[in-house]
Amino acid sequence: MTIMKRKIQKHLHDGEEILHIEIPSWMKYHKEIALSPLILPLIHAVLRKYSTHLVITNDRVIARHGIIGEHSKGVKFDNITTIKVHQSTMGAIMNYGHIHLHTQSGGHADLSFHFIKNPITVKKAIERGMSTKNPSET
């Protein structure tokens, strides 16, 4: 088991299983990559990319990032009301986009993932998780 997978596992509740894990596209770090002749921004971009995860479990969606210090936020499937995907023309060509999860609290998105790889696949994985959790709502 990789180090990052172990870090994700410690955020799971008893009986919770991982259904899908996605990381950001390199496009999220285009500024650092543009400065790549300077080695420090490139190292920073690589560390941020591989320590940022969108995790879909059988109960919720989790945004998690960090190597030593960690930050995470989760939204249970029961609370998700809308899943929005925004994919620009460049995003469609490069296969990245933004996903916004809205919950019953209303207002703006409660959980947003920017420059995520495979946004349509991720949206479908969230919808599958929601329908598995609530089979009567299909």
User: What are the pLDDT tens digits along the chain (138 aa)?
Assistant: 476 677 777 778 888 888 888 888 877 766 666 666 667 777 777 777 778 889 999 999 998 888 777 888 889 999 999 999 999 999 999 999 999 999 887 766 788 898 898 999 999 999 998 887 666 554
Domain count of the chain? 1
Query: DSSP for the chain?
Result: --HHHHHHHTTPPTT--EEEEE-B-GGGGHHHHHTTTSHHHHHHHHHHHHTEEEEEESSEEEEEE-SSS-EEEEEEGGGEEEEEEE--HHHHHHTEEEEEEEETT-SS-SEEEEEEESHHHHHHHHHHHHHHH-GGG-
Residues spanned by the domain of 56: 3-137
Output the domain CATH number for residue 111.
2.30.29.30
